[in-house]
Amino acid sequence: MDTKTRNQSVDMLRGLAMLLVVLCHTMTGCTTGSTNTFLFNIIWSLQIPLFFLISGYVTRYSRGTGKTPADLGAYLLRRTLVYLLPWASWTFLVRGVLFNQTGFLNLKWVIGHMDSGYWFLATLWTITVLFGISQFLAGLITQTGIKKQICTGLIYFLFMGGLVLLGKKTGFSFFALKLTLYYMPFYFLGYLAGQYLPILPTFPRQKNLVDGLIALSVMGWLYLLLRYHLFSLPDDGLWVLFRAATSLAGCIAVIGLTGKLLTANSSGLVLFLQQVGFYSLEIYLILNLFKLTPFPSVNTLTGVGLIGLNFILTTILSLILCRTLHQNRVLKFILFGKQP
């Protein structure tokens, strides 16, 4: 794993988010009643919002859209290869052909039922493409830092409005529009964090302000989780905003409490999290292949043991498979969109 050009703190946080996804899948995949537990409430509030916040944050390290239409075209091609090529490969070749799940060979059905497969990649592609175009158009208007960020935000949220109109015509399950709209603000907030967090040390008493925000987020997040089950809340109106605000508070709490701790530590756990973070998208793709039949209750000793065993096995086997497939340049490109 090449870590020379990567932010290891970001990889660790991404690894933590990926482990939450694995735990969520193993809980729901091998026990009954797991969605009603407080642990599931915690995981569900964090796992995907944390990923999109991190994805927005790392835009500060990635190549931008440039200043010319050719630069923008190259950016769009990179994003398509990184996200849509693996989405197509795992949807049609792996699930459809290799595992003979014929529903995944029906493009119309797949596009209309994205949450049955690899919606995360399609959503991430849509968001990064719209964000990149927003940045490019903002750059044509102004090159001034804060003015460009404001223009980027305005164009980006205009795109959100366009997706709402599209969803009303096609249905919000079309190409995961509902999920894309929900996670677009998290991505943009991550982008803003990437722009402004590095300059926080220049502000007086910034440490007290940051610690106060983290403490408030921890208390607010836990207070809401103890009183509301986010997974069962309605998917409309103010409840969506309530769920998003709760998840945002949780992400701030987890990043604030674990970020420095992980960065200051060089233990085996940290190295393991870096590995998981480095292969996070690959693990997500492989994870969807592991389907177990729920049988014991989550509240039994057997259920807890099964969750722990499956969590460990799924994580380790996924990492082994990721590293193995990465040894072949063709498979690495086709399955994961990673260019040699």
CB 153 within 8 A of CB 182: no
The model's pTM is 0.93
**102 phi/psi in degrees, rounded to 5:** -60, -25
CA distance 71 to 132: 11
CB 87 within 8 A of CB 125: yes
SS (H, E, C) 247-290: HHHHHHHHHHHHHHHHHCCCCHHHHHHHHHHHCHHHHHHHHCCC
Q: What is the pLDDT of residue 29?
A: 85
Q: Which residue has the tokens 């995961």?
A: 176
For 79-98, b where at least 16 C-beta lie within 10 A, e where not — what string?
Answer: bbebbbbbbbbbbbebbbee
CA distance 275 to 271: 6
**C-alpha torsion sign, points 285, 290, 296, 301:** negative
For 41-61, b where at least 16 C-beta lie within 10 A, e where not — what string?
Answer: bbbbbbbbbbbbbbbbbbbee
Q: Which residue has the tokens 């797949």?
A: 110
**Tell me: the pLDDT tens digits for 122-143?**
999 999 999 999 999 999 999 8
Q: What is the pLDDT of residue 1?
A: 47
Cα distances from 29 to residues 23, 65, 287, 297, 320, in angstroms, run 10, 40, 11, 11, 21
**Tell me: the pLDDT tens digits for 206-242?**
778 889 999 999 999 999 999 999 999 998 889 999 9
DSSP label at residue 61:
T
Given a cut of 60, whether residue 302 has pLDDT beyond it is yes
**Tell me: the pLDDT tens digits for 138-168?**
999 998 889 999 999 999 999 999 999 999 9
Given a cut of 60, whether residue 113 has pLDDT beyond it is yes
CB 22 within 8 A of CB 285: no
pLDDT band at 296 (very low <50, low <70, confident <90, very high): confident
Nearest to 338 by CA among 322, 318, 315: 322
CA distance 242 to 82: 32
Q: Which residue has the tokens 């440039």?
A: 66
One DSSP character per residue, 195-234 reads HHGGGGGGSTTHHHHHHHHHHHHHHHHHHHHHH--GGGS-
CB 322 within 8 A of CB 282: yes
Given a cut of 80, whether residue 203 has pLDDT beyond it is no
